[in-house]
Amino acid sequence: MRSAVPPVPPSDLDPAIAARLRRDPAGLLPAIVREYASGDVLMLAWMDDEALHRTLSTGRATYWSRSRQEYWVKGATSGHHQYVRSVALDCDGDALLVTVVQIGPACHTGTHSCFSDHLPVTGPDLADEESPR
């Protein structure tokens, strides 16, 4: 028997938007954050309905901290704010793409992007192959 998905906490998120969301068992969706000017992927964070509502209604990126179990507005303590330019929901309704103007580094380590630890890829060099059609 499958365990029940916990109910989504009350939020002022537009019910039409909320109905389109496919949340994980904790009520969260991954939010991929990219920089408006460069298109760089900056970070991955998590949002529930309330975090998404706060983000859409304030223009400030607001996330759910799984470790601290609380909402956080990006930059509230670090000064490295994210001003939201757009939010898109993917075709399955299970991920968000948040495009932001980033002030300062996005990563808590002080780097521009949280994705700076590149791993080696040893597969075939696709640059030598013809592009698939």
Percent of the chain predicted with pLDDT > 70: 87
Q: Which residues contact 78 (CB under 8 A, 6 or more apart)?
A: 104, 108
Residue-level pLDDT at 2: 47
Q: Which residues contact 97 (CB under 8 A, 6 or more apart)?
A: 31, 32, 34, 87, 88, 90
> Is residue 107 a contact partner of residue 114, using CB atoms and an 8 Å limit?
yes
Q: What is the pLDDT of residues 79-117, one digit of tens each?
A: 999 999 999 999 999 999 999 999 999 999 999 999 999
> Rounded to an integer, what is the distance from CA 46 to the centroid of its chain?
6
Residue-level pLDDT at 130: 62
Assess if CATH 3.10.20.810 describes domain 15-108.
yes
Whole-prediction pTM: 0.85
Residue-level pLDDT at 3: 46
Beta-carbon count within 10 A of 19 CB: 9
H helix runs in the chain, sequence order: 15-18, 49-58
- Per-residue pLDDT tens digits of the chain, which is 133 residues long: 544 445 556 799 999 999 999 999 999 999 999 999 999 999 999 999 999 999 999 999 999 999 999 999 998 989 999 999 999 999 999 999 999 999 999 999 999 999 999 999 998 876 666 655 5
Look over the chain and give the mean of its residue pLDDT values, rounded to a whole number: 90
Residue-level pLDDT at 8: 58
Residue-level pLDDT at 132: 58
Spatial distance between the Cα atoms of 53 and 16, rounded to a whole number of angstroms: 12
Helix/strand/coil (H, E, C) string of 7-24?
A: CCCCCCCCHHHHCCCCCC
